[in-house]
Amino acid sequence: MSLPKSSPGAPTAYVDTFAQDHLPPEDLIAEVDYSGTPELVAYPNYLNVATVLLDDMVATGFGDNPAVHLGDVTWTYSGLLTRANQIARILIEDCGMVTGNRVLIRSPNTPMMVACWFGILKAGGVCVSTMPMLRARELSYVIDKAKVDFLFCDIDLQEEMAEAADEKGIADKLFYFKSTNADREGATLEAMMAEKEDSFTNVETAADDVALIAFTSGTTGNPKAPVHFHRDILQCADTFGRYIATLTPDDVVTGTPPLAFTFGLGGLLICPLRFGASCRYLEGPMPEQILETIQKYKVTQLYTAPTAYRVLTDLVRDFDISSLRQCISAGETLPKATFDVFFEATGIKIIDGLGSTEMFHVFVAAEPAEMRGGFTGKAVPGFMAKVMDDKGKEADPGTPGMLAVRGPSACKYLDDPEKQLVYSKDGWNYPGDVYEMDNDGYFKYVARGDDMIISSGYNISGPEIEAVLLEHAVVAECAVVASPDPDRGNIVKAFIVLREGVYGDAELVTEIQNFIKNEMAPYKYPRAVEFINELPKTATGKVQRFKLRQLESG
């Protein structure tokens, strides 16, 4: 049952149709297919993710079950529903929000962030979640691109948010909340919530109404803005969550990816709540804190990056992690060596998931019993995947080529037809990864096909960093590439041509690194800097980054 491209779907519930109006033309969006699982086939024309994951779960008996935790704080499904309802009322009654407005959230993983997220969807808004580490200039770009109407921000992250809101003239539409129960001056959202009734009638959004704009680093200077419908978000639970993670109400899920990443949003919120499980957010990302959380709270599933699993392997002997039954890895390919040593230390076969922000979540993986070290897995139920050669034909087994994917979600860039043409071709989605497939249908990672740097699970755009480096007074030219690293998979390395008369030394390296940290999310800064006389270029002057990558890979 493939939805025809000509199908208009259900009429939008939105008054503000900005996001809908700036979707790619239908002929630039890959085919979507809902026939892969019975659950997908059953999706109705009108669907609100908040209704399915909160209201319906409470109505079917999960109200007293724990939903989200942080430290000693636990909110049940009913408690989370109440708070989300109050936030929805604030948006409608106090803010004057109309359906389709965009609401930005800036927060670490906390129960209040989750309540805000669901409150926005209940009120018929569009969520724009952002990474906690983004700087004011990056937040300003997001505000501009998504035409953000309102902002919710954790009070502990107010400095950069306030600067961006002031710059964009929307400081009066910025509301602060608290991460914890501690009193924090300036956090007003909780006081507003206390004055609201705990009921709310959700907006009946169409399944194809935009629910989320998920910014991510791109391969050009500015971040991309993939757009997701309500059904796009729910499908990750009815594909990966149901058939690979095999979640149950007894599961307690934790992990390191931010909810602002779709890997984190799907793994640490959407999938667990779909099946009545609970989500425990970490009080700190350090390996010891992860293991202490698993031990203390009997966590059953862990989501993190391969680099973290490498570190955890050396520490697990000092902790009781017997409750842990599944581990999911994503963000970068899982090396066979990491898979093997972790299995030897724990008896757990890590699930290596391949997904993308454009497709929302994981589309290639395998259940632990079917996982093979060194392979990512097979197409997740509900999806199809294949490898295409450079002639546009399906590659033979064992032959590297570009991975192509099709299923119940598809890439939809906000107002960016040029990037859309790169990602969507001939009815398929092309995530930009080079893979090969064996005779059994298992996919094996070969390389990235673009200038993306994947370091410790973070997707980092080389050209985006280059654009900021060029703002430094001493930088004449630069190129940023991935440099292999045993701990992080890759690190960001900058090759810099200095302006005439400037001498490059260790002090200047530190100055440049600090410059990037002050202007961008800290995880993007170049951990290695090399000053060179000139960059390798083509006859037409284009920088040949592949030559620099070759130097780094030996």
Question: In which band, very low, low, confident or very high, does the pLDDT at 321 lie, cut at 50, 70 and 90?
Answer: very high
- The DSSP 8-state label assigned to residue 355 in this structure reads E
Lowest mean pLDDT among 12-26, 28-42, 266-280, 475-489: 475-489
Burial grade of 539 (CB within 10 A; 0-12, 13-18, 19 or more): exposed
Residues 6+ apart with CB under 8 A from 58: 77, 78, 81
Q: How confident is the model at residue 2 (pLDDT cuts 50, 70, 90)?
A: very low
Quick one: pLDDT band at residue 350, thresholds 50, 70, 90? Answer: very high
The separation between CA 110 and the C-alpha centre of its own chain, rounded to angstroms, equals 16
Q: Residue 440: CB partners within 8 Å, gap ≥ 6? A: none
Report the 10 Å Cβ neighbour count for 528. 15
At 540, the pLDDT band (50, 70, 90 cuts) reads: very low
Lowest mean pLDDT among 101-110, 440-449, 541-550: 541-550
Q: Where residue 382 falls among pLDDT bands split at 50, 70, 90?
A: very high
Chain Cα centroid distance, residue 401: 25
Range name among 59-68, 78-87, 498-507 with the lowest pLDDT average? 498-507
Q: Which residues contact 526 (CB under 8 A, 6 or more apart)?
A: 465, 469, 480, 491, 492, 493, 494, 512, 513, 516
Q: Does the pLDDT value for residue 347 go beyond 70?
A: yes
Using the predicted structure, report yes or no on whether residue 454 has a pLDDT greater than 60. Answer: yes
Summarize the confidence of residues 219-239 as an average pLDDT.
87
pLDDT at 474 over 70: yes
- Say what the pTM is: 0.85
pLDDT given at position 6: 30
How high is the pLDDT of residue 544? 80
With a cut of 90, say whether residue 351 has pLDDT above it. yes
Q: Is the pLDDT of residue 219 over 70?
A: no
Domains belonging to the chain, first-starting first, are 48-205 (3.40.50.980), 452-553 (3.30.300.30)
What is the Cα–Cα distance from 486 to 492, expressed in whole angstroms? 13
**109-123, 143-157, 240-254, 380-394: least confidently modelled range:** 380-394
Is residue 256 over pLDDT 50? yes
Distance of CA 442 to the CA centre of its chain: 24
Q: How confident is the model at residue 550 (pLDDT cuts 50, 70, 90)?
A: confident
Average pLDDT estimate for 117-130: 97
Instruction: Give strand pairing partners of 73.
Output: 70
- The predicted pLDDT at position 554 comes to 67
- What is the model's pLDDT at position 181? 64
User: Which pLDDT score, from 0 to 100, does residue 514 have?
Assistant: 95
Residue 3 has pLDDT above 50, yes or no: no
Residues 6+ apart with CB under 8 A from 517: 525
The yes-or-no verdict on residue 527 having pLDDT over 50 is yes
Strands (DSSP E) along 184-323, which ranges?
210-213, 227-229, 252-255, 278-281, 301-304
For residue 1, the model assigns a pLDDT of: 28
Q: How confident is the model at residue 220 (pLDDT cuts 50, 70, 90)?
A: very low
Mean pLDDT over each residue of the chain, to the nearest integer: 91
What is the percentage of the chain residues whose pLDDT exceeds 70?
A: 95
Distance of CA 354 to the CA centre of its chain: 12
- Confidence at 182, pLDDT banded by 50, 70, 90: low
Task: Give the mean pLDDT of 386-413.
Answer: 92
pLDDT at 240 over 90: yes
pLDDT, tens only, 477-504: 888 999 999 888 899 999 999 988 999 9
Residue 218 has pLDDT above 50, yes or no: no
